[in-house]
Amino acid sequence: MAGESPRREFYVATPEEIRSGQTSDIYFFRTLDVLKKAGKDRVRVLMETTAQALPNGWPWAVFAGLEETVNLLRGRKVDLWALPEGTVFPPKTPRGIPVPVLYIEGPYGEFCIYETPVLGFLCEASGIATKSARVRVAAGERRVISFGVRRMHPALAPLIERCVYLGGLDSVTTPLGAAMLGKEPMGTMPHALTIVMGGPREAFAALQKHLEKRVPRIALVDTYYDEKTEAILAAEEIKDLAGVRLDTPASRRGNFASIVREVRWELDLRGHKDAKIYVSGGLDEASIPALAAAGADGFGVGTALSNAPSVDFAMDIVEREGKPAAKRGKFGGRKDLQRCAKCGAFEVGAGKCPACGGRMGPAFVQYLDGGRPAADLPGPDAIRKYVLEQLRGKGL
């Protein structure tokens, strides 16, 4: 705010600053001022949100960030329709029409300053949820834990952990994120424990003796010696060894899949067939399948998720006072987006599915009616389940 000290303890905006438009681009305020003076700020418009294309040519994305969008616009005199949060959508329909994910209708002056934060909610959340879903597909049924919080500002921890969970990951690592999701935070041990304890044998003995009984004992086995050596030490020191984690630095990795196979063999030899092998360190959907094939039971994925490419949604006016009006390069008018109940394909105004011939139904749900809630917003477990059903349905 003008006149306030530019210094802050932490450089994050408060919810009140977001609501009052302090994180919105100034040109919207200037536009609003001009429109008010011209007597046009109550002109009724329909704004459409589309992605046109997805990062890296992804064929589909997971729509996320809707709950925050509805929370921001609740109480404004607007109607809001959207794909349900967690919908897996392609950038364009088979006919080549960009898939709309969200419509806001109302007097332009009622919501124009919110374009910046709404896009921010949708673009970042959808990027993280999509990357997580891609990792989920790559990992199959194996466990995937998010290690992404440390790569981004801590104020974003709840957002990141919610989005990775919606995208299909199994566990998150922070108390705040886990509590928000109603889960237990998951974690193993850092290299620091081995170093501070004076070596891996000492660290594993301390884990066995002192770690809370209810926490599964997972030993990090690459601090000083090679993974096999430390895995054997862990097997000797930890009676109830639940698993080992390999976080091998890239400079020492060689053939990571071979290392996983060797560790599996040595653990099995020593009667630890039930001990799982977790791997972490710079993993993404491209590197996971070979490690899974080598016998890795679970993955810690960090940077690839929290730093996922943003889904570049754009918001455009497509109707003015109920009549089609759109800028060059955009399709005017409200699109009657339909989704196939059988295969999940999208098309605009189609009665029959272009892909399988199945029955199509309306793709949108109305979430706000004159600013009042018009439909429930499902919780994270329901959204995650919906995402996983769609991923399975696609045979990915």
Residue partners of 63: CB distance under 8 A and separation at least 6: 82, 83, 84, 85, 86, 87, 88, 89, 101, 122, 126, 129
Stretch that binds Zn ion, among 149-157, 162-170, 212-220, 342-350 (CB under 5 A): 342-350
- Residue type (1 letter), 364: F
* Alpha helix stretches (DSSP H) within 238-352: 256-269, 288-293, 303-306
Nearer to Zn ion, 40 or 352 (CB): 352
Residues 194 and 220 sit within 8 Å (Cβ to Cβ): yes
Contact call for residue 343 and Zn ion (CB under 5 A): yes
For residue 197, which of 216, 219, 215 has the smallest C-alpha distance?
219
Determine the interface stretch with Zn ion among 1-9, 107-115, 118-126, 332-340 (rule: CB under 5 A). Answer: 332-340
Total residues at the site for Zn ion (CB under 5 A)? 8
Binding of Zn ion at residue 259 (CB under 5 A)? no
Closer to Zn ion by Cβ: residue 201 or 342: 342
Amino acid at 40: K
Name residues contacting Zn ion, limited to 167-226 (CB under 5 A). none
The CA distance from 321 to 313, in Å, is 24
Q: Please report whether residue 340 would count as binding Zn ion according to CB under 5 A.
A: yes
Smallest separation (angstroms) from Zn ion to the CB of 392: 15
Cβ proximity to Zn ion, 128 vs 340, nearer residue = 340
311 binds Zn ion (CB under 5 A): no
**What CA–CA distances, in Å, run from 204 to 64, 98, 219, 327?**
41, 55, 7, 64
- Closest distance of CB 150 from Zn ion, Å: 42
CB atoms within 10 A of CB 252: 11
Between 197 and 343, CB nearer to Zn ion:
343
Among 118, 353, 368, 383, binds Zn ion (CB under 5 A): 353
Using CA atoms, how far apart are residues 239 and 205, in angstroms rounded to an integer?
A: 10
Residue choice 70, 288, 345, 368 for contact with Zn ion (CB under 5 A): 345
The conformation of residue 76, written as its DSSP 8-state character, comes to S
| C-beta of 97 vs 206, nearer to Zn ion | 97
Q: Report the alpha-carbon distance of residue 298 to residue 77 in Å, rounded.
A: 47
List the x/- string, 354-393, binding to Zn ion by CB under 5 A. Answer: -xx-x-----------------------------------
Under the binding rule (CB under 5 A), the answer on residue 102 touching Zn ion is no
Chain residues binding Zn ion by CB under 5 A are 340, 342-343, 345, 353, 355-356, 358
